[in-house]
């Protein structure tokens, strides 16, 4: 037992010593070397800052609107921001009152030089405490243990991570561990991390833990000392040079291959933004990039409903009908109508009012299952703020007649439409002739009726006159 305690104390010492070396290395890096810096434009408050991170994205947490992207879909190594997905699944599937028993694989499966809190094999730790260790100080063995507790094995948990990523609409993500330690087959992208974070922010427990600057894990069955956890994210540490008052939480990451990674979220007024940056060097540029982008969008954008009075033109309907005809290789026998969410509220520039936003419609995207035909784009002429799907109704498919192989489908459709117009014109002509005949018949009937009435009056007049003459003779 004494030997195990000695091992635990030794591991804690190594952890604290390595943390001190990291801090010293970071300090030396800033003082002795020149690096790129985040560029802001104080004299041009409407000009977007230039970021240092190789990949960045800014997403509106409420709507998912993408406000800024830079290599946002490029595969990158995430390092410890992986733990956001780990925490999301832990909160969704775990019980905060559970007890985790540290396995041999969780303790010894991580690299000894990586971040940990010196948990030992057989040590019992509360599930919630383990989650604080994962998100506050990025403890790698705690993340592994959480994964095993939720799914039985790390491999099963990674399957859950990848399935969840697919459900959320991630496009470039594949996880092979729960902590983000480097593996060539463990990757994601800035866009996917924003999606994952947006989902995690739906849980109060996630927000609570990631907003914590200090947390104490009490003594366990194998450690008589408490463990003090201090937040890694400098954006929420008031004593830090990188403190940002509107930041509500975040997760940092670093490996030699990933360089600095950061996910952070900030809220000002009714606007909450998610910022992701990947492959930053030095790591401090993650914070300066985040602060600069948060400030830019908070100061230059506001929520609006620019489509509230939008109406589709006849040209829009004709264009959509042609697109659907080409898609179905047929013609429309119904009355086509288009719709878009006019109540959609999203962020637009302060310089653009709801009434003078530039709205354009394209029919490139067609989805038969969703009954979607194209996209409405809203912007200011140089930048697109938001894209919304356009839906159709009333389209009745009519197959085209068989045509020669290689015939131009658009030409065939136009021919069929011309036939339809000709047929419609012929119908109208016949209809007008029938109306004319009926009008003539009606006029004739009216004339005959008038003559009949006059004749009856004349007969009654003659009868009356004859009666008067006969009465006088008597």
Burial (0-12, 13-18, 19+ Cβ within 10 Å), 120: middle
Q: 470: which DSSP letter?
A: H
Cis peptide upstream of residue 390 (ω within 30 degrees of 0): no
* Strand ordering across the sheet containing 337-339: 337-339, 384-393, 372-379, 358-367
Alpha-carbon 219 to chain mean position: 42
In order, the DSSP letters of 331-381 are EE-S--EEE--TT--EEEETTS-GGG-EEEEEEEEEETTTTEEEEEEEESS
Q: How many C-beta neighbours within 10 Å does residue 119 have?
A: 27
Closest CA to 279 of 261, 252, 253, 256: 261
- H or E segment and range at residue 265: strand 259-268
Grouping H, G, I as helix, E, B as strand and the rest as coil, residue 279 is strand
174, two tokens:
């594949």
377 as an active site residue: the answer is no
353 as an active site residue: the answer is no
- Of the residues 8, 103, 114, 138, only one is catalytic, namely 138
- Of the residues 8, 80, 103, 114, only one is catalytic, namely 80
Grouping H, G, I as helix, E, B as strand and the rest as coil, residue 15 is helix
In angstroms, rounded to a whole number, what is the distance separating the alpha carbons of residues 257 and 183?
9
Contact (CB, 8 A) for 280 and 261: yes
In angstroms, rounded to a whole number, what is the distance separating the alpha carbons of residues 160 and 323?
40
Burial (0-12, 13-18, 19+ Cβ within 10 Å), 238: exposed
83 as an active site residue: the answer is yes
Burial (0-12, 13-18, 19+ Cβ within 10 Å), 7: middle
In order, the DSSP letters of 406-445 are T--HHHHHHHHHHHHHHHHHHHHHHHHHHHHHHHHHHHHH
Closest CA to 374 of 331, 412, 416, 318: 318
- Of the residues 83, 164, 234, 291, only one is catalytic, namely 83
Catalytic positions are 80, 83, 138
């Amino acid at each position: 037992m004494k030997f195990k305690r000695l091992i635990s104390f030794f591991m804690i010492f190594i952890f604290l010593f390595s943390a001190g070396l990291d801090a010293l290395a970071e300090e030396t890096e800033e003082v002795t070397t020149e690096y790129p810096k985040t560029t802001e434009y104080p004299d041009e408050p409407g000009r977007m800052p230039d970021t240092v991170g190789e990949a960045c994205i800014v997403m509106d947490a409420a709507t998912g609107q993408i406000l800024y992207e830079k290599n946002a879909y490029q595969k990158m190594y995430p390092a410890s921001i992986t733990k956001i997905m780990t925490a999301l699944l832990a909160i969704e599937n775990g019980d905060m009152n559970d007890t985790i028993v540290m396995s041999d694989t969780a303790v010894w499966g991580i690299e000894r030089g990586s971040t940990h809190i010196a948990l030992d094999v057989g040590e019992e730790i509360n599930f919630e405490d383990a989650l604080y260790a994962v998100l506050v100080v990025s403890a790698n063995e705690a993340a592994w243990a959480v994964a095993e507790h939720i799914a039985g094995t790390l491999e099963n948990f990674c399957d859950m991570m990848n399935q969840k990523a697919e459900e959320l609409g991630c496009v470039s993500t594949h996880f092979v561990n729960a902590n983000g330690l480097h593996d060539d087959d463990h990757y994601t992208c800035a866009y996917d991390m924003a999606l994952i974070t947006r989902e995690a922010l739906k849980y109060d427990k996630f927000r609570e833990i990631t907003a914590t600057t200090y947390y104490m894990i009490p003594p366990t069955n194998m450690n008589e000392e408490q463990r003090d956890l201090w937040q890694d994210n400098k954006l929420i540490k008031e004593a830090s040079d990188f403190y940002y008052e509107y930041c509500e939480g975040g997760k940092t990451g670093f490996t030699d291959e990933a360089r600095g990674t950061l996910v952070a979220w900030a809220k000002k007024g009714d606007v909450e933004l998610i910022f992701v940056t990947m492959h930053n060097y030095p790591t401090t540029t993650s914070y300066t990039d985040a602060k600069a982008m948060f400030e830019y969008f908070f100061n230059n954008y506001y929520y609006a409903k620019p489509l509230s009075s939008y109406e589709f033109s006849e040209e829009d309907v004709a264009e959509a009908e042609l697109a659907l005809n080409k898609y179905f290789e047929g013609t429309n026998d119904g009355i086509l109508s288009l719709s878009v969410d006019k109540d959609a509220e999203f962020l637009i520039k302060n310089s653009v009012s709801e009434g003078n936003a530039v709205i354009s419609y394209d029919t490139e995207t067609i989805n038969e299952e969703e009954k979607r035909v194209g996209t409405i784009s809203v912007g200011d002429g140089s930048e697109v703020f938001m894209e919304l799907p356009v839906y159709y109704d009333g389209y009745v498919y009519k197959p085209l007649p068989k045509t020669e192989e290689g015939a131009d489908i658009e030409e065939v459709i136009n021919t069929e439409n011309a036939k339809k117009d000709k047929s419609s014109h012929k119908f109208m002509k016949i209809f007008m002739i029938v109306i004319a005949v009926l009008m003539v018949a009606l006029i004739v009937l009216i004339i005959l009726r008038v003559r009949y009435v006059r004749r009856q009056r004349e007969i009654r007049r003659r009868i009356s006159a004859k009666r008067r003459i006969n009465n006088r003779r008597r």
